[in-house]
Amino acid sequence: MKYCIRYYLLFFLSAPLIFSDEITASQSFANGGMVVTQHYLATQIGKDVLDQGGNAYDAAVAVGFAMAVVLPRAGNIGGGGFMVMYDAVSGDSSSIDYREKAPLLSSRDMYLDQNNEFDSLKSTVGYLSVGVPGTVYGLWEVHQKYGSLPWSDLLQPSIVLAERGFEMSNYMIKTLKRYKPKLSYFEESNKIFFEGTQELSSKILVQTDLSKTLKRIQKFGVKDFYEGETANMIALEMTKNGGLISLDDLKKYRPIWREPVKGDYRGKEIITMGPPSSGGLHLIQMLNILENFDLNMYEHNSPDYIALLSEIMKYAYADRSKYLGDPDFFDVPTFEIVNKSYAKRIYQEILKNPQKSAEQILPGQLLFDESNETTHFSIADQFGNVISNTYTLNSAYGSGVTISGTGILMNNEMDDFSGAPGVPNQFNLIGGIANEIVPEKRPLSSMTPTIIFDNGSPLMAVGSPGGSRIITTVLQMILNVIDFSMDINEATSASRIHHQWYPDRIDIEKSNINTESLIDMGYEINLIDPATCTQSIYFEDNMFIGSGDLRRPDSLALGVSK
């Protein structure tokens, strides 16, 4: 790894990093490991770690910090997320929840105005929308438990990227221009992303303050971010600007190792994230229902197939609205939701009533006896370890707030709580008491990092950004591979649909899908631009096949050869 770091230093001392915009490779084959991320520079850094003998956990740490530099709209150290892991040595699967938490001074009605109406601006933009970040602690915990290379070495490439600069792709410049009104409202964010690049006339992005922060984290680990100089800078800025995060919040933060949620579908084992992510439970719930149908009778993305998926999605998202929240604060009925007998009842209801409106599918029918700008990466190493990780700032560029002197863009995850019962958040997701704001509680999420096994061996690692569409995207990836026998590239490229109970409509990516027949069937159709971006690895015959979803053109898969 020392050789790798020296290479980076020599390269960056000569010039800012230049990388071609013309990246067409969406698939990679290798026999010694695979890294798939939403940004080519982060992918290269992860590959370099594996090349130098590091394991998947080392690569995940390096990639996680690199994304905070090169993908600031979603990669982060000011946000949080979930990681699902398979450890080849123990043969066990595990997951870590490093989701953000509500500050100690937060309260259930903090976003209601004087007329008791929900103020969505307060929950999405600015200091009051920020939850206590978990990414640094989450990556630290993973490294402490499984890492093999020095922590300081894994952060060095990201420090150099921030300090020396890199050339922004056309896609990154496009997103910065789109979100300029939000970012330029905050002086520090405006200085970094616009003044420093002469209103984007220069494509080189240098993040000096972020490099200094990363150096402190490199030297002092989590101590700096949660108790040291960086913690003090965060708390001071929050106090000055009406934010709620205090030093006590940062000192008390800890990620949680949680048992992953497990299911099976047509003989394949599904390992995915449990609450406070809703993704895993409802992914398995929908697979359980679909297992009762012979999908060989359906043409892929035919009107009948899309109608079937939509009906199943309605039931899952209706249950999500009532039953999902932080399991440390609310008794989530995990067993009941993923129970195959419950799925059978829904299947029988669909047979009797194959098309129900959202109003007819009420949350609570089960019987007891989240911005599209999340990001995902998948990594597998030569030792057999597999990682599926999804983390986020929530909506693009989070709250818009950059903490002065740190370069840290902060999340707006407080919007993922139910700010008011029955009021949808920015993703039109409705929540209730299970997800109301409580100090130190973690907000509900749709993130769905998933690993699939066949006869005890990894078959596929998959996940995606996309807010509320993440769960249905991962579902369709699994169906494409298992039921429709697509290779991972075909599965990635196939058009996607989404239904989330409310609003009562089917979102369909603009494509050649026959929408007229669906309209004739009585469905409301909403044609959308691509909103998701899977980063997947498929395992076949001792080969790693990586697929980077070019719906977001900076994605890249790179393999490692033995």
| Per-block mean pLDDT, blocks of 10 residues, the chain (562 long) | 36 37 64 97 98 98 98 97 97 98 94 84 94 98 98 98 95 93 95 76 89 98 98 98 98 98 98 96 98 97 97 93 88 94 96 83 50 90 98 96 98 86 52 82 95 98 94 98 96 95 91 93 94 96 95 95 88
Residue owning tokens 């139910």: 418
Residue 7 has which token pair?
């290479």
SS3 328: coil
What's 126's DSSP letter?
S
Q: pLDDT value at position 180?
A: 94
Instruction: Provide the strand spans (E) within 297-384.
Output: 374-381
H or E stretch at 388: strand 386-392
Which residue is catalytic, options 37, 124, 135, 374?
374
Name the residue type at position 333.
P
Q: In the chain, how many domains are there? A: 1
Q: Do 321 and 430 touch, CB atoms closer than 8 A?
A: yes
Q: How far apart are the first and last CA of the chain?
A: 17
Say how many CA atoms lie within 13 Å of 531 toward its Cβ: 24
Could you give the C-alpha distances from 378 to 46, 130, 254, in angstroms and in order? 10, 27, 24
Q: pLDDT value at position 463?
A: 98
* Contacts of residue 14, Cβ cutoff 8 Å, sequence gap at least 6: none
* Contacts of residue 186, Cβ cutoff 8 Å, sequence gap at least 6: 126, 400, 401, 402
The domain in which residue 13 lies consists of 1-562
Burial of residue 224 (CB within 10 Å: 0-12, 13-18, 19+) is buried
Across-strand partners of 537? 461, 546
Neighbour count for residue 499 (Cβ, 10 Å): 26
- Listing DSSP states for 215-280 in one string gives HHHHHHTHHHHHHSHHHHHHHHHHHHTT----HHHHHH---EEEPPEEEEETTEEEEE--TTBSHH
Q: Do 399 and 557 touch, CB atoms closer than 8 A?
A: no
Q: Which residues of 274-300 are buried (b: 16+ CB within 10 A; e: fewer)?
A: bbbbbbbbbbbbbbbbbbebebeebeb
Across-strand partners of 166? 17, 205
Instruction: Provide the strand spans (E) within 111-185.
Output: 166-167
Burial of residue 107 (CB within 10 Å: 0-12, 13-18, 19+) is middle
Spatial separation of the C-alpha atoms in residues 239 and 127, rounded to whole Å: 9
Spatial separation of the C-alpha atoms in residues 559 and 544, rounded to whole Å: 7
What's 445's DSSP letter?
B
Spatial separation of the C-alpha atoms in residues 11 and 390, rounded to whole Å: 30
Give catalytic status of residue 374 as yes or no.
yes
Q: What is the number of residues in the chain?
A: 562
Could you give the C-alpha distances from 35 to 59, 480, 534, in angstroms and in order? 8, 22, 13
Q: pLDDT value at position 421?
A: 53
Q: pLDDT value at position 219?
A: 98
| Pairing mode, strands 80-87 and 386-392 | antiparallel
Residue of 504, 378, 297 whose CA lies nearest to 46: 378
